[in-house]
Chain A
């Protein structure tokens, strides 16, 4: 699936998007898997209270299933307006 990162999450991970092969069942599983891969992910996801997630461009949460999801995005709380 496509995984997208925005703002300081993007800066810490070092890429705006990447294709991730995973069998993670939920968003939380995916986060744990990424954190185990490399330190930059571990650093970016060290405080999950500061991270928001969107699944196929809809706001979601860590406990949601990834079944059928094509695009996951991680970002800090939004600061529009």
Chain B
């Protein structure tokens, strides 16, 4: 289990290798990568500013990861979330889960992402050509949490 909150980009391939390196007991690795889209609500997005709450962010990510490990049979997990100004196309977040069987790895990765969306203290501001706009939380993201309760 490990989490990172960082400005720097990450290498998904290297992260997967680090999870499974030297191990022969892992049967499945699932990864999710979130990217900055260049369109939102019909508007062209140049970049995205991600603000976070240093201290609380690390705690929230560690709690979400620990909860996933308690619920599913995971052999390893990794969460990386970037902050700062990210250009369209840039990687924002990565979740990787490793398990003997794929069902646990898939579900745990989805669970972690659902909680990151609305329970990790990050706020996104979309930068268009002439202004910035804070992204509203979506009801669908809140609803997504209910299926795990």
Task: Give the B-binding residues of A (Cβ under 8 A).
Answer: 4, 6-8, 10, 54, 57-59, 73, 75-81
Interface size on B, residues (CB 8 A): 27
Residue of B nearest to A52 (CB): B121
Best-surrounded residue of B52, B113, B123, B134 (most CB of chain A within 10 A): B123
Q: Chain B: interface secondary structure?
A: mixed
Can you spell out 11 A-B residue pairs with CB atoms less than 8 angstroms apart? A6-B123, A57-B56, A58-B56, A59-B119, A73-B53, A75-B123, A78-B119, A79-B136, A80-B52, A81-B116, A81-B117
CB distance from A5 to the nearest CB of B (A): 10
Q: From residue 29 to 52 of chain B, which have CB atoms closer than 8 A to chain A?
A: 34, 51-52
A81's partner among B52, B56, B120, B142 (CB-CB below 8 A) is B120
Is B22 part of the contact surface with A, judged by Cβ < 8 Å? Answer: no
Q: Which residues of B contact A (CB under 8 A)?
A: 34, 51-53, 55-56, 59, 81, 92-93, 113, 116-125, 134-137, 141-142
Most buried by B among A4, A10, A73, A80: A80
A8 CA / B132 CA spacing, docked (Å)? 11
Shortest Cβ gap from B139 to chain A (Å): 10
